[in-house]
Amino acid sequence: MGMDISEKQLKKAKQHLTACGLSAKLICSPMEEECGIPVNYFDFVYSIYAIGWTTDLEDTFCRIASYLKKDGIFIFSWSHPIHKCIAAENNMLIFKKCYFDESWYSVSLDEGELTLSDRKLSTYVNALAKAGLVIEQMIEQSDDDIIQSYEGNSDFAKKAKMLPVTFVIKARKL
């Protein structure tokens, strides 16, 4: 089963699944809303660079916890919040944004405008705890593939060598 708010992304997922000889139920819905996913059903829930798009982190984590069986695992990744606070300028890393600033801002995309917040790591940790999920492992990282893919953008590559670009959390439902 898969869920995304974008019909376009779901169409791509369906094409990929078909090409691999697989099928899955795909649901178009915001992750914050009830969408018919069964409760206490899944052993694993994954969110790969999606969870940061939610407008209600606590409610989203509570929904995800409800989908998991007892001792089920939730693994998610997102952009590391410190990375957005730092800029590389004149061979120096400088703070360009306050890490504690979680205010909302808009981003324009082809399909319209999105509203985002750069949340602190503690915001994710506390929302997981409130949802009854306990962190088992966390990874903060910039891998060589990321660094090499941005070599043309030397400022990003410089930052990626010194600061984590992403974080991944593995949490278990109590």
- Regarding whether 152 and 102 lie in a shared domain, the answer is yes
How many folded domains does the chain comprise?
2
Query: Whole-angstrom Cα distance, residue 80 to residue 111?
Result: 25
Mean of per-residue pLDDT scores for the chain: 91
Supply the range of the domain harboring residue 70.
31-173
CATH of the domain at 138: 3.40.50.150
Q: Which own/partner contact pairs does 106-115 have at CB distance under 8 Å and 24+ positions apart?
A: 111/6, 111/8, 114/53, 115/55
Answer yes or no: do 127 and 52 share one domain. yes
State which amino acid sits at residue 171.
A
Which pLDDT tens digit goes with each residue over 89-115?
Answer: 887 889 999 999 999 988 887 777 888
With a cut of 80, say whether residue 150 has pLDDT above it.
Answer: no
Query: What is d(CA 129, CA 146) in angstroms, rounded to the nearest whole number?
Result: 30
**Is the separation of the CB atoms in 134 and 171 below 8 Å?**
yes
Position 80 confidence tier, pLDDT thresholds 50, 70, 90: very high
Q: Looking at the structure, do residues 55 and 9 belong to the same domain, yes or no? A: no
Quote the pLDDT of residue 142: 84
Does 115 share its domain with 140? yes
> Which two three-digit tokens encode residue 9?
């992304």
Kindly state whether residues 67 and 2 are assigned to the same domain.
no
Range list of H helices, 75-169: 121-130, 144-149, 154-162
pLDDT attached to residue 132: 98
Question: Can you tell me the mean pLDDT for 139-144?
Answer: 86
Asked whether residue 45 falls in the same domain as residue 4, the answer is no
The answer to whether residues 26 and 57 belong to one domain is: no
- Please indicate, yes or no, whether residues 152 and 112 belong to a single structural domain of this protein: yes
In the block, tokens 């060589």 appear at: 144
